[in-house]
Amino acid sequence: MDDMTAFTWMIVLPLLASPAIYLLGRLFKEDGARIARWAAVAALLITWVPFAVAASDLNEHGIQTYQHGSIMLRLDDLSLLLAALVLGLGTLVTVYSGPYMAAESDQEKYFALLVAMIGVMIGLGCAGDLFNLWVWFEGMAIASFFLVAFYREQAASLEAGIKYMVQSAVGSALVLMGIALVLAQTGTLDLVEIRNAARDSDMLLAAGALFTIGFGVKVAMVPMHTWLPDAHSQAPSGISAMLSGVVIEAGLVALLRSLGALTGVSDSWGTLLMIFGAFNMLLGNLMALRQTQVKRLLAYSSLSHMGYMLLGLGIALYAKETAGAQGSLFHMLNHGMMKGLAFLAAGGLLYTLHVSLGDHSPLTVSDLDGAAQKYPITALGLSLAVLGLGGLPPLAGFMSKWQIFVAGFETKETLIELLVLFAALNSVLSLAYYAPLVNALYRRKPSKAVQKGQPMPVLMTVPMVILSVAIVAVGVWPNLLDWLSGPAGDALLATFGF
Amino acid sequence: MTDILIILAIGLPWLGALAVWLVGNKRPEQQHLLAVIFAVAAGLAALLLIPSYSDAAELKIEVGSVFGDFTFVPDGLGVFLAAVATVVGSLAVIFSVDYMHGDAELGRYYALVLLFIGSMVGLVLTGSMLLLFIFWEMTALCSYALISFYNDDPKAVEGGIKALVITSLGGVGMMIGALIIYAYVGSYEISDFLADPEALPSGVLGVVAFGFLAAAAAKSAQVPFHTWLPGAMEAPSPISALIHAATMVNAGVYLLVRFYPAFEDVEGWTTAVILVGLLSGLLSALMALVAQDLKRALAYSTVSQLGYMVYAVGTGAIFASQFHLLSHAVFKALLFLSAGAVIHSVGTRDMRQMGGLGKQMPFMRNVFIVGALALAGLPILNGFWSKELVLEGGLEEGPVWAYAGMLIGAGITALYSFRMVWLVFFGEPRGTTHAHDAGQYMKLATGILAVGTFTTWLLAGVFGELLEDSLPYHHLEVETGTKIIEDVITAPATLVALGVVALGLLGWWFRKPLSGIAEALSPVGDAAANDFGFEAVNRQIVHWTKEAATALRATQTGYLNWNVVGIIGGLIAVLVILVLGA
């Protein structure tokens, strides 16, 4: 057993904090909810310390490992990127959730689960062997089920939770079968050792397919995406931001780790990801086009953005093109910020217009009418978020899409270039559903909902402001996040042995 | 010093945007004042930039990774267009003080206008293709947000989104082109590409050339992408003058000119450019002739005049196209602003509701007539000189059929110009509304532009020299100012063109006796009024997309069983792909 180092503390701290938050919330009858909430914020803020140390360790000494019995943890730049994304958005969502959940009962469970989910996802990024990866993956799923179905009195919320759980479980079962096949064939579970041992075999090919589909459920690759619109729209808005901004991305990292181990088994992994990417982009956009519920619309938009990430990764694996991996991971960060902001802002309006009045009906596009008059910051934030998602400069989304597209054209292969053209046209199509949201927000005549809307709590506004500034900053200065996405892209290709 | 001026010309409007927004809508007077100060200051910076023009990157910000360097090259083309953008921008802002007086949300209005001005300056000054595309899309974003400034009006919302989607669609062509160039040349520097376009295989270069043409056509509202511009007329009139007449719509022509040396040898490219210019010039002149909405008539006229510029690029008359761009920017901004003053005053855009307004608004009548005469191409106004140059160049270098078409277009231009003037300012009043005279700021802005309409052609020599000196790849040979004027006066083509213009004028004068001809041509008029079917094609595409999206909703069944079937189906598909591929 190795000594605990910064990066293991980064994983363990939130996991230890989670039960403590729950207990604090239960023990203090009067102020339990408030104490749990602030304990969660404190725990996450403290976790930034080992994160910073781990980042500098990684930078100076290279990949960090930790062995405890058969558990193997490995911190590389890809793990660090996921940790940064999870911790960053997680901290903001926790702050935001304070006022958002203030009127709900059992808040201590909400915050304990949220912090646990954050810790588990950081751990998932560091998993060094297949089984361990699966355990973290399941941990993430379990924490998120309860958070999706947190409004347990609401039928729609429960329905979404059940659908999510069943489909997720099907995926997990497939992954587990894949692991069994790998173990039977190679006799090891360590990702690096599998990569060295793996030879061309039908069994391992089948294992790769099982991983693709099994993890693909969580990644919401078409046609395994059907749980996502319900889950993302029914969850409390902070959780929607987490699901869309990091949970599906964590699933993607798990998928990449598992395929990285099987790199020698097939040359088709890249092609496969590109195909899924194309379907995700098109279906996500077309489904979003006719949506009238804002959170559902944003959920479908997540499908299409996952498509961009898959496209870039596919290009990276297919052509050993670093820019594709870097671009995709850059897009992962940007999407986390943009979609996080979009859900927080839409959730803010949902809260002030509906939830705070005890109404659990969904936020529709027509509810947004004239919201900018009363909620100028939220409206500006939502506008920046959706225009950035649509890929308009000078906002973050444009820059990462551009990097992915550059990778596509660097291959100089016509089919891939056509795929990039298809992706660009999809971006234009997406403007057709993002822009009307902005137009609605800036009407003069407020909707009925806005007229009786409550004031926006400050603690919900602060995370939106931070994310808005970040989106513009990265859009103006694209290299702001290169210290994360650049090495992470290299690390990803390294896990595939390129 | 040059780099500071570049930063000021781009940065001052952006700073102003922030300032106006921060001041808040509760203090409109300060917002007006701040907007004017920052816009005028940017104008001064851009004017000061003209003498320090150069063909090298005077400002370079290293970004690295796949984003290259952000460079700015203040060459003759760039500094001139930057000056146009900021000067017309300042005038539009000054005009807005009256026009937007008492309107709500001035913060959003001015912030977007100033953001636009800075972006437009960046667009023409940058030497990096990536940055060019970024500014290109930023202007589209501002244009969209300002067209639908009055968000409560569904037509404004539709117009804005339509403009955004169509220009972005065209923009994809430019993006693909830039990506291809980067893949082959390894740099975003426009000059690197122009130095050696042969680095691209000829077929690939063709894709780039036509991609850029599509982008230019969409941005400059050329056939078949022109349909967004009439819809853009829902914007406040100063926006129409600034963005949809004087600056952003010129970006397409600018793009063609900028990359002309690389594309001129691509097979079929110049012919395609000529064709786009010809179709736009001719068809939209006809549409302007039958339009009843004053701003739509001006919008079609803009499409038509941009067609002349595009046509000029196709025939290789680079200087003529940019010279006409300058003239058009001035006189069309004048027309839009004075039309805006009229519309502001009578509260309708329908020319059938106007008539006889000249007596009530004598100043606006006078400046509008100046603009209209320049548009028609009457000497000695700026439109005359530049249009003659375009036609002369077309006759010398271009195909005769195209020249003939453009000549007919010039006649129709004269006809619809006089029609507009007559319907708005002369004859019997047809509307019941009483018109009040325009405000001081409106008169100031239009007055300056009217003076410009009389004088900007005197800059021909300086402008030509600037282009010649600082565009090393274009190999321009521009004559001195006096020689240009002499040429135009003595060329037989000028007489022909003037004859056609006179025909147009006579056609309007004797419209009653000629009504038989008009009747015979009425099917053409009807087709023109229906946008020659382009609008219908647009609607059909939107309809199909919506239908497809609606049909697809059936896949979200809501039944868990089907969801799991999806997972299993996915597994089978992946297995098949892997087995076949591996």
Nearest by CB to A428, from B141, B169, B176: name it. B169
Q: Give the tens place of pLDDT for each residue, A116-153.
A: 999 999 999 999 999 999 999 999 999 999 999 999 88
CA distance B462 to A409: 41
Say what the pLDDT of residue A3 is.
Answer: 81
Over residues B484-512, mean pLDDT: 84
CB atoms under 10 Å from CB of A173, counted, come to: 12
Give B5-42 pLDDT, tens digit per residue. Answer: 999 999 999 999 999 999 989 999 999 999 999 999 99
The pair of structure tokens assigned to A142 is 């379990």
Q: Is the Cβ of B582 closer than 8 Å to some Cβ of chain A?
A: yes
Residue pair B259/B265 in contact by the 8 Å Cβ criterion: no
Question: Which residues in chain B have their CB less than 8 angstroms from residue A168's CB?
Answer: none
B66 and A402 within 8 Å at the Cβ level: the answer is yes
Give the span between the Cα atoms of B78 and B49, in whole angstroms.
Answer: 10
CB contact under 8 A, B577 and A268: yes
Mean pLDDT for the stretch of residues B261-289: 95
DSSP label at residue B242: I
A-contacting residues in B 124-143 (Cβ below 8 Å)? 130, 133-134, 137-138, 140-141
Q: What mean pLDDT is predicted for residues B532-547? A: 91
Asked whether B475 and B125 are in contact (CB, 8 A), the reply is no
Which positions in chain B touch A394 (Cβ < 8 Å)?
Answer: 134, 138
- Residue A134 is predicted with a pLDDT of 96
Spatial contact of A298 and A232, defined as CB atoms under 8 Å apart: yes
Tell me how far apart the alpha carbons of residues B442 and A338 are, in angstroms, rounded to a whole number: 42
Task: Give the pLDDT of residue B66.
Answer: 86
Task: Tell which of B172, B561, B574, B577 to mutate to test the A interface (max A CBs under 10 Å).
Answer: B574
Residues on chain B touching A265 (C-beta within 8 angstroms): 582
Q: If residue B552 lies in a helix (H) or strand (E), which one and from where to where?
A: helix B534-552
Q: Are B277 and B308 in contact (CB under 8 A)?
A: yes
User: How far is residue B142 from each of residues A470, B21, B136, measured CA to CA in Å?
Assistant: 21, 15, 10
Question: Per the structure block, which two tokens stand in for A114?
Answer: 């949220």
Residue type, B365: R
pLDDT score of A1 more than 70: no
The CA distances from residue B204 to A404, A425, B198, B266, in Å, are 20, 20, 10, 10
This model of the complex carries an ipTM of 0.94
In this complex, the residue of B104, B556, B562 whose CB is nearest that of residue A229 is B556
* CB spacing of B574 vs A213 below 8 angstroms: yes
Instruction: Measure the CA–CA gap between A230 and A225, rounded to whole angstroms.
Output: 10
Q: How many beta-carbon contacts under 8 Å exist across A and B?
A: 184
Q: What DSSP state is assigned to residue A4?
A: P
| B567 touches A: beta carbon within 8 Å | yes
* pLDDT tens digits, B127-153: 999 999 999 999 999 999 999 999 999
pLDDT of A368 > 90? The answer is yes
- Residue B436: predicted pLDDT: 81
pLDDT at A475 over 70: yes
Give the tokens for residue A457. Answer: 């709590």
Residue B491, pLDDT score? 82
pLDDT at B474 over 90: no
Secondary-structure breakdown of chain B: helix, strand, coil percentages, each rounded to the nearest 5: 80, 0, 20
In the three-class reduction of DSSP (H, G, I as helix; E, B as strand; rest coil), residue A334 is classed as helix
Q: Could you tell me which of B202, B418, B211, B459 has the C-alpha nearest to residue B322?
A: B459
> Which residue in the set A166, A290, A406 is minimally distant from B549, CB to CB?
A290
- pLDDT score of B409: 93
Q: Do A289 and B582 touch (CB under 8 A)?
A: no
Partnered with residue B293 across adjacent β-strands are B350
Give chain A's length: 498
Chain centroid to Cα B505, Å, comes to: 27
| A67 vs A81, more confident | A81
pLDDT tens figures, B51-96: 988 888 889 998 877 898 999 999 999 999 999 999 999 999 999 9
Question: At A190, is the secondary structure helix, strand, or coil?
Answer: strand
Whether the per-residue pLDDT at A58 is higher than 90: the answer is: yes
> For residue range B316-373, what is the model confidence (pLDDT) as tens digits?
999 999 999 999 999 999 999 999 999 998 888 999 888 888 888 999 999 999 999 9
Chain A residue with the nearest C-alpha to that of B560: A163
How close is the nearest chain A Cα to the Cα of B166, in Å?
Answer: 9
**Exposed, middle or buried: residue B527 (CB in 10 Å: 0-12, 13-18, 19+)?**
middle
Q: Tell me: the pLDDT tens digits for A242-287? A: 999 999 999 999 999 999 999 988 889 999 999 999 999 999 999 9
Of B148, B157, B577, the CB nearest to A272: B577
Q: Cα dist. B60→A433, B50, B64, B155 in Å?
A: 37, 19, 12, 42
Q: How far apart are CA A444 and CA B345, in angstroms?
A: 23
Q: Greater confidence, B496 or B43?
A: B43
Query: Contact B152/A478, CB-based, under 8 Å?
Result: no
Q: Which residue is closest to B564 within chain A, CA to CA?
A: A167
The answer for residues whose C-beta is within 8 angstroms of residue A369's C-beta and 6 or more apart is: A440, A441, A443, A445, A446, A447, A450
Report the distance separating Cα A86 and Cα A48, nearest Å.
Answer: 11
Calculated CA dihedral for residues B515, B519, B524, B527, nearest 10 degrees: 110
Look up residue A112 and give its two tokens.
């304990």
Which DSSP string do the residues of A418-435 spell out, in sequence order? HHHHHHHHHHHHHHHHHH
How much is the pLDDT for B126? 95
Interface contact B582-A275, CB threshold 8 A: no
Q: Place B582 in a pLDDT band, splitting at 50, 70 and 90.
A: low
E strand or H helix at A65: strand A64-68
Rounded to whole angstroms, how far apart are CA atoms A135 and A73? 12
Q: Which of A210, A387, A479 faces B63 most closely, judged by CB atoms? A: A479
Q: Name the percent of chain A in helix, strand, coil, to the closest 5.
A: 80, 5, 20
Q: pLDDT digit string (tens) for A151-191?
A: 988 899 999 999 999 999 999 999 999 999 999 999 999 99
Q: Which two tokens stand for residue B63?
A: 């970004």
Contact residues on chain B for A478, CB-CB shorter than 8 A: 63, 65, 67
Q: For residue B432, what pLDDT is reported?
A: 61
In terms of CA atoms, which chain A residue is nearest residue B172?
A424
Nearest chain B residue to A446 by CA distance is B152
**pLDDT at res. B433:** 64
With an 8 Å Cβ cutoff, are B566 and A226 in contact? yes
Cα gap B362→A394, rounded to integer Å: 44
Model pLDDT for residues A217-232, shown as the tens digit of each residue: 999 999 999 999 999 9
Using CA atoms, how far apart are residues A351 and B34, in angstroms rounded to an integer? Answer: 37
Q: Is the minimum CB–CB distance between B436 and chain A shorter than 8 Å? A: no
Please report the sign of the dihedral spanned by the C-alpha atoms of residue B456, residue B457, residue B460, residue B462. Answer: negative
Q: A70 pLDDT exceeds 90? A: no
Mean pLDDT over residues B451-477, rounded?
Answer: 88
The arithmetic mean of pLDDT across residues B516-528, rounded, is 85
Q: Quick one: average pLDDT of A371-399?
A: 95
Q: What angle do CA A419, A422, A428 make, to 5 degrees?
A: 150
| Confidence at residue B526, expressed as pLDDT on a 0 to 100 scale | 87
Q: How far is CA B219 from CA A403, B188, B274, in A?
A: 24, 21, 17
The pLDDT value given to residue A84: 97
CB of B64 within 8 Å of a chain A CB? The answer is yes
From chain B, pick out residues whose CB is under 8 angstroms from the CB of A223. 555, 566-567, 569-570
